[in-house]
Structure 1
Amino acid sequence: MPASEVPGADPTGSEAIHTEQLGDHLLLIRVDRPHRRNAFDGATARAMEAAIDAYEDDDTLRCAILAGTAQAFSSGQDLIAAAHGDMGVAPNRGGFGIMAKPPTKPIIAAVEGHALAGGLELCLACDLVVSSRSATMGIPEATRSLVAVGGGLFRLPKRIPYHLAMELALTGKAWSAERMAELGLVNRLTEPGAALQGAIELAHEILRAGPLAVRASKQIVQHAYDWNDADSWQNQMPFARPVLASEDLQEGLRAFADKRDPIWTGR
Protein backbone atom coordinates (compact mmCIF):
# COMPACT_ATOMS: atom_id res chain seq x y z
CA MET A 1 0.00 0.00 0.00
CA PRO A 2 1.42 3.46 -0.88
CA ALA A 3 2.39 5.62 2.09
CA SER A 4 -0.34 8.10 1.22
CA GLU A 5 -2.93 5.37 1.82
CA VAL A 6 -1.57 4.16 5.17
CA PRO A 7 -3.81 5.47 7.97
CA GLY A 8 -2.24 8.47 9.70
CA ALA A 9 0.83 8.48 7.46
CA ASP A 10 1.04 12.24 6.95
CA PRO A 11 3.46 13.91 6.92
CA THR A 12 5.44 11.62 4.68
CA GLY A 13 7.82 11.86 1.75
CA SER A 14 9.10 15.32 0.89
CA GLU A 15 6.84 16.84 3.55
CA ALA A 16 8.76 14.87 6.18
CA ILE A 17 12.30 15.58 4.93
CA HIS A 18 13.30 19.23 5.14
CA THR A 19 16.56 20.66 3.83
CA GLU A 20 18.13 23.99 4.66
CA GLN A 21 21.45 25.46 3.61
CA LEU A 22 23.39 26.87 6.56
CA GLY A 23 25.92 29.25 5.06
CA ASP A 24 27.77 28.62 1.81
CA HIS A 25 28.86 25.01 2.24
CA LEU A 26 26.75 23.30 4.94
CA LEU A 27 23.45 21.47 4.43
CA LEU A 28 20.95 20.56 7.15
CA ILE A 29 18.67 17.57 6.45
CA ARG A 30 15.91 17.19 9.02
CA VAL A 31 13.50 14.30 9.52
CA ASP A 32 10.16 15.68 10.71
CA ARG A 33 7.50 13.01 11.32
CA PRO A 34 6.85 13.67 15.02
CA HIS A 35 3.61 11.66 15.14
CA ARG A 36 5.70 8.57 14.25
CA ARG A 37 8.79 9.60 16.26
CA ASN A 38 10.51 10.24 12.92
CA ALA A 39 10.09 6.65 11.78
CA PHE A 40 10.50 5.95 8.06
CA ASP A 41 8.02 4.71 5.51
CA GLY A 42 8.85 4.20 1.84
CA ALA A 43 8.02 7.73 0.71
CA THR A 44 10.16 9.26 3.45
CA ALA A 45 13.07 6.99 2.53
CA ARG A 46 12.78 8.05 -1.11
CA ALA A 47 12.71 11.71 -0.07
CA MET A 48 15.84 11.17 2.02
CA GLU A 49 17.54 9.52 -0.96
CA ALA A 50 16.67 12.56 -3.09
CA ALA A 51 18.13 14.88 -0.44
CA ILE A 52 21.35 12.85 -0.24
CA ASP A 53 21.61 12.76 -4.04
CA ALA A 54 21.20 16.54 -4.19
CA TYR A 55 23.89 16.96 -1.54
CA GLU A 56 26.29 14.75 -3.49
CA ASP A 57 25.62 16.56 -6.76
CA ASP A 58 26.13 20.09 -5.39
CA ASP A 59 29.85 20.86 -5.44
CA THR A 60 29.35 23.94 -3.26
CA LEU A 61 28.14 21.75 -0.38
CA ARG A 62 30.99 20.20 1.60
CA CYS A 63 29.32 18.84 4.73
CA ALA A 64 25.82 17.82 5.83
CA ILE A 65 24.07 17.42 9.17
CA LEU A 66 21.26 14.91 9.66
CA ALA A 67 18.85 15.78 12.48
CA GLY A 68 15.47 14.79 13.80
CA THR A 69 13.28 16.73 16.21
CA ALA A 70 13.58 17.56 19.90
CA GLN A 71 11.76 14.39 20.96
CA ALA A 72 13.46 11.87 18.68
CA PHE A 73 16.24 11.50 16.16
CA SER A 74 14.44 8.46 14.71
CA SER A 75 12.66 5.40 16.05
CA GLY A 76 13.47 3.43 12.90
CA GLN A 77 11.02 1.73 10.54
CA ASP A 78 7.42 2.92 10.70
CA LEU A 79 5.83 -0.33 11.90
CA ILE A 80 2.32 0.79 11.01
CA ALA A 81 3.48 1.36 7.44
CA ALA A 82 5.32 -1.98 7.53
CA ALA A 83 2.10 -3.73 8.51
CA HIS A 84 0.68 -2.44 5.22
CA GLY A 85 3.71 -3.63 3.27
CA ASP A 86 5.28 -0.16 3.07
CA MET A 87 8.96 -0.46 4.02
CA GLY A 88 11.37 2.44 4.52
CA VAL A 89 13.62 1.53 1.59
CA ALA A 90 14.73 3.61 -1.40
CA PRO A 91 15.77 2.08 -4.75
CA ASN A 92 19.42 3.18 -4.89
CA ARG A 93 20.62 4.00 -1.38
CA GLY A 94 18.62 1.32 0.42
CA GLY A 95 17.27 1.63 3.94
CA PHE A 96 16.00 5.10 4.87
CA GLY A 97 17.52 6.43 1.65
CA ILE A 98 21.08 6.35 2.99
CA MET A 99 22.04 3.14 4.82
CA ALA A 100 23.35 1.04 1.92
CA LYS A 101 25.06 3.93 0.15
CA PRO A 102 25.95 6.89 2.38
CA PRO A 103 27.25 10.06 0.71
CA THR A 104 30.93 10.27 -0.18
CA LYS A 105 31.08 13.67 1.53
CA PRO A 106 30.93 14.00 5.34
CA ILE A 107 27.62 13.76 7.17
CA ILE A 108 27.10 14.33 10.90
CA ALA A 109 24.21 12.96 12.98
CA ALA A 110 22.77 15.47 15.47
CA VAL A 111 20.85 13.39 18.01
CA GLU A 112 18.16 14.49 20.44
CA GLY A 113 15.78 12.10 22.18
CA HIS A 114 15.76 8.50 20.96
CA ALA A 115 17.95 6.91 18.27
CA LEU A 116 16.54 3.39 18.38
CA ALA A 117 16.47 0.46 15.95
CA GLY A 118 16.79 1.98 12.49
CA GLY A 119 17.40 5.29 14.24
CA LEU A 120 20.70 4.03 15.59
CA GLU A 121 21.44 2.48 12.20
CA LEU A 122 20.81 5.92 10.72
CA CYS A 123 23.53 7.25 13.05
CA LEU A 124 25.85 4.46 11.91
CA ALA A 125 25.36 5.55 8.29
CA CYS A 126 26.81 8.92 9.31
CA ASP A 127 30.51 9.65 9.81
CA LEU A 128 30.28 11.55 13.08
CA VAL A 129 27.72 11.72 15.89
CA VAL A 130 26.95 14.70 18.11
CA SER A 131 24.36 13.90 20.76
CA SER A 132 22.49 15.42 23.63
CA ARG A 133 23.45 13.89 26.98
CA SER A 134 19.82 12.94 27.51
CA ALA A 135 19.53 10.88 24.31
CA THR A 136 19.25 7.09 24.30
CA MET A 137 20.49 4.65 21.67
CA GLY A 138 19.95 0.97 20.97
CA ILE A 139 18.91 -1.78 18.58
CA PRO A 140 15.88 -3.42 20.26
CA GLU A 141 14.83 -5.52 17.25
CA ALA A 142 15.55 -8.91 18.87
CA THR A 143 13.01 -8.19 21.63
CA ARG A 144 10.32 -8.23 18.90
CA SER A 145 11.85 -11.21 17.08
CA LEU A 146 13.17 -8.86 14.41
CA VAL A 147 16.72 -8.54 13.09
CA ALA A 148 18.53 -5.21 12.69
CA VAL A 149 19.21 -5.48 8.96
CA GLY A 150 19.90 -1.76 8.41
CA GLY A 151 23.60 -2.13 9.09
CA GLY A 152 23.51 -2.12 12.87
CA LEU A 153 24.75 -5.66 13.38
CA PHE A 154 27.85 -5.27 11.21
CA ARG A 155 28.60 -1.56 11.65
CA LEU A 156 28.18 -1.32 15.41
CA PRO A 157 31.03 -3.79 16.18
CA LYS A 158 33.30 -1.54 14.09
CA ARG A 159 32.42 1.46 16.25
CA ILE A 160 32.40 -0.01 19.77
CA PRO A 161 33.99 -3.12 21.35
CA TYR A 162 32.69 -6.43 20.00
CA HIS A 163 31.30 -7.83 23.24
CA LEU A 164 29.41 -4.61 24.01
CA ALA A 165 27.93 -4.49 20.52
CA MET A 166 26.89 -8.09 21.09
CA GLU A 167 25.20 -7.18 24.37
CA LEU A 168 23.18 -4.44 22.67
CA ALA A 169 22.20 -6.78 19.83
CA LEU A 170 21.16 -9.70 22.04
CA THR A 171 19.42 -7.87 24.89
CA GLY A 172 17.82 -5.08 22.87
CA LYS A 173 18.49 -2.63 25.69
CA ALA A 174 18.93 1.09 25.08
CA TRP A 175 21.97 2.84 26.52
CA SER A 176 22.51 6.49 27.28
CA ALA A 177 24.38 8.74 24.89
CA GLU A 178 26.85 9.38 27.72
CA ARG A 179 27.76 5.69 27.80
CA MET A 180 27.95 5.59 24.01
CA ALA A 181 30.35 8.52 24.14
CA GLU A 182 32.51 6.63 26.64
CA LEU A 183 32.60 3.73 24.17
CA GLY A 184 33.55 6.01 21.26
CA LEU A 185 30.33 5.93 19.24
CA VAL A 186 29.46 9.55 20.03
CA ASN A 187 32.04 12.18 19.11
CA ARG A 188 30.66 15.01 21.21
CA LEU A 189 28.04 15.40 23.93
CA THR A 190 25.94 18.52 24.40
CA GLU A 191 23.33 19.69 26.82
CA PRO A 192 19.73 18.80 25.89
CA GLY A 193 18.53 20.86 22.95
CA ALA A 194 22.04 21.77 21.80
CA ALA A 195 22.97 18.80 19.59
CA LEU A 196 22.35 20.68 16.35
CA GLN A 197 24.48 23.60 17.46
CA GLY A 198 27.22 21.17 18.48
CA ALA A 199 27.02 19.51 15.07
CA ILE A 200 27.24 22.89 13.34
CA GLU A 201 30.38 23.72 15.32
CA LEU A 202 31.95 20.39 14.36
CA ALA A 203 30.94 20.91 10.72
CA HIS A 204 32.68 24.29 10.67
CA GLU A 205 35.89 22.59 11.82
CA ILE A 206 35.58 20.21 8.85
CA LEU A 207 34.83 23.08 6.48
CA ARG A 208 38.13 24.72 7.34
CA ALA A 209 39.94 21.76 5.77
CA GLY A 210 40.40 21.23 2.04
CA PRO A 211 37.20 19.71 0.58
CA LEU A 212 39.01 17.36 -1.80
CA ALA A 213 41.25 16.10 1.00
CA VAL A 214 38.27 15.65 3.32
CA ARG A 215 36.38 13.59 0.76
CA ALA A 216 39.40 11.41 -0.05
CA SER A 217 40.21 10.94 3.63
CA LYS A 218 36.66 9.77 4.34
CA GLN A 219 36.87 7.16 1.59
CA ILE A 220 40.23 5.82 2.77
CA VAL A 221 39.10 5.59 6.41
CA GLN A 222 35.92 3.77 5.35
CA HIS A 223 37.90 1.23 3.32
CA ALA A 224 40.44 0.70 6.10
CA TYR A 225 38.29 -2.06 7.60
CA ASP A 226 38.51 -4.03 4.35
CA TRP A 227 42.21 -3.59 3.50
CA ASN A 228 45.16 -5.35 5.07
CA ASP A 229 48.18 -3.25 5.92
CA ALA A 230 50.27 -4.43 2.97
CA ASP A 231 47.59 -3.60 0.38
CA SER A 232 46.60 -0.29 1.95
CA TRP A 233 49.64 1.58 0.58
CA GLN A 234 48.50 1.06 -3.00
CA ASN A 235 44.75 0.98 -2.38
CA GLN A 236 44.72 4.47 -0.89
CA MET A 237 46.35 6.12 -3.89
CA PRO A 238 43.37 6.27 -6.29
CA PHE A 239 41.65 8.42 -3.66
CA ALA A 240 44.73 10.43 -2.68
CA ARG A 241 46.34 11.01 -6.09
CA PRO A 242 43.82 13.57 -7.43
CA VAL A 243 44.16 15.58 -4.21
CA LEU A 244 47.95 15.58 -4.44
CA ALA A 245 47.67 16.95 -8.00
CA SER A 246 45.05 19.58 -7.15
CA GLU A 247 45.06 23.36 -7.12
CA ASP A 248 43.83 23.17 -3.54
CA LEU A 249 47.08 21.49 -2.46
CA GLN A 250 49.08 24.37 -3.90
CA GLU A 251 46.74 26.86 -2.23
CA GLY A 252 47.15 25.06 1.10
CA LEU A 253 50.94 25.25 0.84
CA ARG A 254 50.88 28.94 -0.17
CA ALA A 255 48.48 29.79 2.66
CA PHE A 256 50.76 28.04 5.17
CA ALA A 257 53.77 29.98 3.91
CA ASP A 258 51.84 33.26 3.92
CA LYS A 259 50.39 32.60 7.40
CA ARG A 260 46.79 33.09 6.19
CA ASP A 261 43.62 31.05 5.87
CA PRO A 262 43.41 29.09 2.59
CA ILE A 263 40.72 29.83 0.04
CA TRP A 264 39.53 26.46 -1.25
CA THR A 265 38.08 26.04 -4.73
CA GLY A 266 37.58 22.26 -4.74
CA ARG A 267 39.83 21.94 -7.77
Structure 2
Amino acid sequence: MGGTVTVDRRGQVLVITLDRPARRNAVDGATARALAAAVDDLDADPTLAVGVLTGAGGTFCSGMDLGAFLTGDLPEVPGRGFGGITRRPPETPLVAAVEGYALAGGCELALACDLVVAAEDAVFGIPEVTRGLFAGSGGLLRLPRRIPPAIALEHALTGDPLPAVEGARWGLVNRLTPPGGALAGALELAERIARNGPLAVRVTKHVVQTAPEWPADEVWDRQQVLLDQVMGSDDAREGARAFAEKRPPVWTGR
Protein backbone atom coordinates (compact mmCIF):
# COMPACT_ATOMS: atom_id res chain seq x y z
CA MET A 1 0.00 0.00 0.00
CA GLY A 2 2.90 2.36 -0.68
CA GLY A 3 4.27 2.41 2.88
CA THR A 4 1.73 4.93 4.19
CA VAL A 5 -1.07 2.41 4.76
CA THR A 6 -0.70 -1.16 5.98
CA VAL A 7 -3.24 -3.97 5.86
CA ASP A 8 -3.54 -7.03 8.04
CA ARG A 9 -6.10 -9.75 7.46
CA ARG A 10 -7.52 -11.33 10.60
CA GLY A 11 -9.96 -13.99 9.50
CA GLN A 12 -12.86 -12.21 7.84
CA VAL A 13 -11.72 -8.81 9.09
CA LEU A 14 -9.29 -6.53 7.25
CA VAL A 15 -7.41 -4.12 9.51
CA ILE A 16 -6.35 -1.00 7.58
CA THR A 17 -3.80 1.18 9.39
CA LEU A 18 -2.79 4.72 8.55
CA ASP A 19 0.95 4.33 9.05
CA ARG A 20 2.59 7.76 9.22
CA PRO A 21 3.08 8.13 12.98
CA ALA A 22 5.79 10.78 12.58
CA ARG A 23 3.17 12.95 10.85
CA ARG A 24 0.38 11.93 13.24
CA ASN A 25 -1.04 9.97 10.31
CA ALA A 26 -1.79 13.13 8.35
CA VAL A 27 -3.05 12.31 4.87
CA ASP A 28 -1.10 13.17 1.74
CA GLY A 29 -1.82 12.09 -1.82
CA ALA A 30 -0.03 8.77 -1.51
CA THR A 31 -1.93 7.93 1.67
CA ALA A 32 -5.26 8.79 0.07
CA ARG A 33 -4.54 6.56 -2.91
CA ALA A 34 -3.34 3.72 -0.70
CA LEU A 35 -6.43 3.96 1.50
CA ALA A 36 -8.70 3.92 -1.56
CA ALA A 37 -6.88 0.82 -2.83
CA ALA A 38 -7.27 -0.89 0.56
CA VAL A 39 -11.03 -0.36 0.71
CA ASP A 40 -11.33 -1.47 -2.93
CA ASP A 41 -9.63 -4.71 -1.94
CA LEU A 42 -12.00 -5.00 1.02
CA ASP A 43 -15.04 -4.70 -1.23
CA ALA A 44 -13.64 -7.00 -3.92
CA ASP A 45 -13.06 -9.97 -1.61
CA PRO A 46 -16.33 -11.77 -0.75
CA THR A 47 -14.56 -13.63 2.06
CA LEU A 48 -13.95 -10.36 3.91
CA ALA A 49 -16.94 -9.26 5.97
CA VAL A 50 -15.75 -6.14 7.81
CA GLY A 51 -12.97 -3.58 7.73
CA VAL A 52 -11.36 -1.79 10.67
CA LEU A 53 -9.66 1.56 10.07
CA THR A 54 -7.11 2.74 12.63
CA GLY A 55 -3.92 4.76 12.98
CA ALA A 56 -0.40 3.88 14.06
CA GLY A 57 1.45 5.43 16.97
CA GLY A 58 -1.46 6.29 19.24
CA THR A 59 -3.17 8.77 16.93
CA PHE A 60 -6.02 8.05 14.54
CA CYS A 61 -5.47 10.91 12.07
CA SER A 62 -4.64 14.61 12.39
CA GLY A 63 -6.21 15.47 9.03
CA MET A 64 -4.61 16.80 5.88
CA ASP A 65 -0.82 16.90 5.58
CA LEU A 66 -0.41 20.67 5.30
CA GLY A 67 3.20 20.42 4.20
CA ALA A 68 2.22 18.18 1.30
CA PHE A 69 -0.73 20.45 0.50
CA LEU A 70 1.56 23.48 0.17
CA THR A 71 3.53 21.63 -2.52
CA GLY A 72 0.34 20.86 -4.46
CA ASP A 73 0.07 17.27 -3.22
CA LEU A 74 -3.67 16.97 -2.61
CA PRO A 75 -4.94 14.25 -0.22
CA GLU A 76 -7.86 13.29 -2.44
CA VAL A 77 -8.75 10.66 -5.01
CA PRO A 78 -11.02 11.71 -7.91
CA GLY A 79 -14.57 10.53 -7.23
CA ARG A 80 -13.53 9.20 -3.83
CA GLY A 81 -12.88 12.41 -1.89
CA PHE A 82 -10.51 13.12 0.98
CA GLY A 83 -8.45 10.11 2.03
CA GLY A 84 -9.93 8.11 -0.81
CA ILE A 85 -13.10 7.23 1.15
CA THR A 86 -15.06 10.28 2.39
CA ARG A 87 -17.06 10.77 -0.80
CA ARG A 88 -17.50 7.08 -1.54
CA PRO A 89 -16.98 4.81 1.47
CA PRO A 90 -16.75 1.05 0.95
CA GLU A 91 -19.87 -1.08 0.61
CA THR A 92 -18.47 -3.39 3.28
CA PRO A 93 -19.04 -2.21 6.85
CA LEU A 94 -16.08 -0.23 8.21
CA VAL A 95 -15.34 0.28 11.91
CA ALA A 96 -13.10 3.13 13.09
CA ALA A 97 -10.73 2.34 15.97
CA VAL A 98 -9.78 5.75 17.36
CA GLU A 99 -6.93 6.51 19.71
CA GLY A 100 -5.65 10.01 20.34
CA TYR A 101 -6.84 12.63 17.88
CA ALA A 102 -9.33 12.40 15.02
CA LEU A 103 -9.32 16.02 13.91
CA ALA A 104 -10.42 17.86 10.76
CA GLY A 105 -9.99 15.37 7.92
CA GLY A 106 -9.24 12.70 10.53
CA CYS A 107 -12.66 13.25 12.05
CA GLU A 108 -14.18 13.11 8.57
CA LEU A 109 -12.48 9.75 7.97
CA ALA A 110 -14.00 8.46 11.21
CA LEU A 111 -17.41 9.79 10.15
CA ALA A 112 -17.06 7.94 6.82
CA CYS A 113 -16.88 4.72 8.84
CA ASP A 114 -20.10 3.02 9.89
CA LEU A 115 -19.27 2.44 13.54
CA VAL A 116 -16.77 4.04 15.90
CA VAL A 117 -14.89 2.49 18.80
CA ALA A 118 -12.79 5.03 20.69
CA ALA A 119 -10.48 5.21 23.66
CA GLU A 120 -11.90 7.21 26.55
CA ASP A 121 -9.24 9.89 26.10
CA ALA A 122 -9.66 10.21 22.32
CA VAL A 123 -10.71 13.55 20.87
CA PHE A 124 -12.75 14.32 17.76
CA GLY A 125 -13.19 17.69 16.09
CA ILE A 126 -13.82 19.68 12.95
CA PRO A 127 -11.82 22.87 13.72
CA GLU A 128 -11.65 24.10 10.11
CA VAL A 129 -13.45 27.39 10.88
CA THR A 130 -10.57 28.38 13.16
CA ARG A 131 -8.43 28.52 10.00
CA GLY A 132 -11.04 30.25 7.87
CA LEU A 133 -12.13 26.99 6.22
CA PHE A 134 -15.03 24.57 6.62
CA ALA A 135 -15.27 20.81 6.92
CA GLY A 136 -16.00 20.07 3.29
CA SER A 137 -15.08 16.38 3.23
CA GLY A 138 -18.26 15.15 4.85
CA GLY A 139 -17.96 16.60 8.33
CA LEU A 140 -20.82 19.04 7.94
CA LEU A 141 -22.93 16.42 6.15
CA ARG A 142 -22.41 13.45 8.43
CA LEU A 143 -21.90 14.87 11.92
CA PRO A 144 -25.51 16.21 12.19
CA ARG A 145 -26.73 12.72 11.29
CA ARG A 146 -24.65 11.08 14.01
CA ILE A 147 -25.31 13.50 16.88
CA PRO A 148 -28.08 16.04 17.58
CA PRO A 149 -27.94 18.74 14.87
CA ALA A 150 -27.68 21.61 17.35
CA ILE A 151 -24.71 19.97 19.06
CA ALA A 152 -23.08 19.31 15.69
CA LEU A 153 -23.63 22.92 14.67
CA GLU A 154 -22.09 24.21 17.88
CA HIS A 155 -18.91 22.21 17.30
CA ALA A 156 -18.83 23.12 13.61
CA LEU A 157 -19.21 26.85 14.31
CA THR A 158 -16.83 27.05 17.27
CA GLY A 159 -14.28 24.48 16.15
CA ASP A 160 -14.25 23.20 19.73
CA PRO A 161 -13.03 19.62 20.27
CA LEU A 162 -15.49 16.83 21.02
CA PRO A 163 -14.12 14.42 23.65
CA ALA A 164 -14.88 10.77 23.00
CA VAL A 165 -16.84 10.44 26.25
CA GLU A 166 -19.14 13.26 25.12
CA GLY A 167 -19.29 11.76 21.63
CA ALA A 168 -20.46 8.48 23.16
CA ARG A 169 -23.18 10.29 25.07
CA TRP A 170 -24.50 11.85 21.86
CA GLY A 171 -24.19 8.66 19.77
CA LEU A 172 -21.08 9.35 17.69
CA VAL A 173 -19.08 6.66 19.48
CA ASN A 174 -20.56 3.17 19.70
CA ARG A 175 -18.15 1.87 22.31
CA LEU A 176 -15.59 3.39 24.66
CA THR A 177 -12.48 1.50 25.73
CA PRO A 178 -9.61 2.23 28.10
CA PRO A 179 -6.72 4.10 26.45
CA GLY A 180 -4.87 1.75 24.13
CA GLY A 181 -7.86 -0.56 23.75
CA ALA A 182 -9.67 0.89 20.74
CA LEU A 183 -8.32 -1.59 18.19
CA ALA A 184 -9.14 -4.59 20.38
CA GLY A 185 -12.62 -3.20 20.95
CA ALA A 186 -13.13 -2.56 17.24
CA LEU A 187 -11.95 -6.07 16.38
CA GLU A 188 -14.37 -7.59 18.88
CA LEU A 189 -17.23 -5.65 17.32
CA ALA A 190 -16.07 -6.46 13.79
CA GLU A 191 -15.85 -10.16 14.58
CA ARG A 192 -19.41 -10.14 15.89
CA ILE A 193 -20.56 -8.63 12.59
CA ALA A 194 -18.42 -11.07 10.60
CA ARG A 195 -20.32 -14.05 12.03
CA ASN A 196 -23.31 -13.02 9.94
CA GLY A 197 -23.99 -13.48 6.24
CA PRO A 198 -21.74 -11.04 4.34
CA LEU A 199 -24.27 -10.31 1.58
CA ALA A 200 -27.01 -9.69 4.15
CA VAL A 201 -24.67 -7.41 6.11
CA ARG A 202 -23.76 -5.32 3.07
CA VAL A 203 -27.37 -4.94 1.98
CA THR A 204 -28.40 -4.07 5.54
CA LYS A 205 -25.80 -1.30 5.59
CA HIS A 206 -27.00 -0.05 2.22
CA VAL A 207 -30.65 0.13 3.30
CA VAL A 208 -29.93 1.87 6.60
CA GLN A 209 -27.74 4.48 4.92
CA THR A 210 -29.76 5.17 1.76
CA ALA A 211 -33.41 4.55 2.63
CA PRO A 212 -33.93 7.98 4.25
CA GLU A 213 -33.23 9.52 0.83
CA TRP A 214 -35.54 7.23 -1.15
CA PRO A 215 -38.76 8.78 -2.50
CA ALA A 216 -41.59 7.94 -0.11
CA ASP A 217 -43.63 6.18 -2.79
CA GLU A 218 -40.68 3.95 -3.76
CA VAL A 219 -39.44 2.83 -0.36
CA TRP A 220 -41.17 -0.55 -0.21
CA ASP A 221 -40.52 -1.41 -3.86
CA ARG A 222 -36.82 -0.56 -3.53
CA GLN A 223 -36.51 -2.60 -0.38
CA GLN A 224 -38.31 -5.53 -2.04
CA VAL A 225 -35.72 -5.66 -4.85
CA LEU A 226 -32.95 -5.97 -2.28
CA LEU A 227 -34.92 -8.44 -0.18
CA ASP A 228 -35.44 -10.67 -3.22
CA GLN A 229 -31.70 -10.52 -3.91
CA VAL A 230 -30.82 -11.65 -0.40
CA MET A 231 -33.60 -14.24 -0.08
CA GLY A 232 -32.52 -15.84 -3.35
CA SER A 233 -28.88 -16.09 -2.35
CA ASP A 234 -26.83 -19.17 -1.52
CA ASP A 235 -26.15 -17.67 1.89
CA ALA A 236 -29.86 -17.44 2.72
CA ARG A 237 -30.27 -21.14 1.98
CA GLU A 238 -27.13 -21.94 3.94
CA GLY A 239 -28.42 -19.95 6.92
CA ALA A 240 -31.66 -21.93 6.93
CA ARG A 241 -29.85 -25.26 6.57
CA ALA A 242 -27.38 -24.42 9.34
CA PHE A 243 -30.23 -23.46 11.67
CA ALA A 244 -32.09 -26.70 10.94
CA GLU A 245 -28.91 -28.77 11.36
CA LYS A 246 -27.88 -26.91 14.54
CA ARG A 247 -24.43 -25.96 13.22
CA PRO A 248 -22.60 -22.72 12.42
CA PRO A 249 -23.25 -21.50 8.87
CA VAL A 250 -20.49 -21.49 6.25
CA TRP A 251 -20.97 -18.31 4.26
CA THR A 252 -19.80 -17.76 0.68
CA GLY A 253 -20.97 -14.20 0.15
CA ARG A 254 -23.17 -15.29 -2.74
- TM-score class, shorter-chain normalisation, is over 0.9
Q: Is the 8 A contact 1:213 1:240 kept in 2?
A: no
1:17-37, Cα deviation, whole Å (9 max, x unpaired): 0011112x1101000111211
Query: What amino acid does structure 2 have at the position aligned with 1:173?
Result: D
1:37-85, Cα deviation, whole Å (9 max, x unpaired): 1111111101111111111111221111000024310011111111122
TM-score normalised over the length of structure 2: 0.96
2:239, 2:50 → 1: CA distance?
A: 19
Deviates further, 125-134 or 232-241: 232-241
2:33, 2:226 → 1: CA distance?
A: 29
Query: What amino acid does structure 1 have at the position aligned with 2:147?
Result: I
2:65, 2:226 → 1: CA distance?
A: 38
1:220-256, Cα deviation, whole Å (9 max, x unpaired): 1110231255432112233322111012111212222
The answer on 1:146 being equivalent to 2:165 is no
What pairs up with 1:118-157 in 2 under 5 angstroms? 118-157=105-144
The answer on 1:211 being equivalent to 2:198 is yes
Q: Is the 8 A contact 1:130 1:199 kept in 2?
A: yes
What pairs up with 1:84-103 in 2 under 5 angstroms? 84-103=71-90
Q: Name the structure 2 match of 1:221.
A: 208
2:189, 2:182 → 1: CA distance?
A: 11
TM-score normalised over the length of structure 1: 0.92
Q: Is the 8 A contact 1:219 1:239 kept in 2?
A: no
The answer on 1:27 being equivalent to 2:27 is no
Q: Name the structure 1 match of 2:46.
A: 59
Deviates further, 211-220 or 91-100: 91-100
2:238, 2:170 → 1: CA distance?
A: 38
Query: What amino acid does structure 2 have at the position aligned with 1:116?
Result: L
1:66, 1:121 → 2: CA distance?
A: 12
What pairs up with 1:229-240 in 2 under 5 angstroms? 229-240=216-227
| Deviation for aligned residue 1:257 | 2.4
Query: What amino acid does structure 1 have at the position aligned with 2:126?
Result: I
Give the gaps of 5 or more residues in structure 2. Answer: none
Partner SS for 1:54: helix
Q: CA RMSD in A?
A: 1.3
| Deviation for aligned residue 1:15 | 0.8
The answer on 1:177 being equivalent to 2:164 is yes
1:32, 1:238 → 2: CA distance?
A: 40
Q: Is the 8 A contact 2:4 2:30 kept in 1?
A: no
Q: Is the 8 A contact 2:147 2:170 kept in 1?
A: yes
Q: Is the 8 A contact 2:4 2:20 kept in 1?
A: yes
Deviates further, 173-182 or 227-236: 227-236
Query: What amino acid does structure 1 have at the position aligned with 2:34?
Result: A
| Deviation for aligned residue 1:176 | 0.9
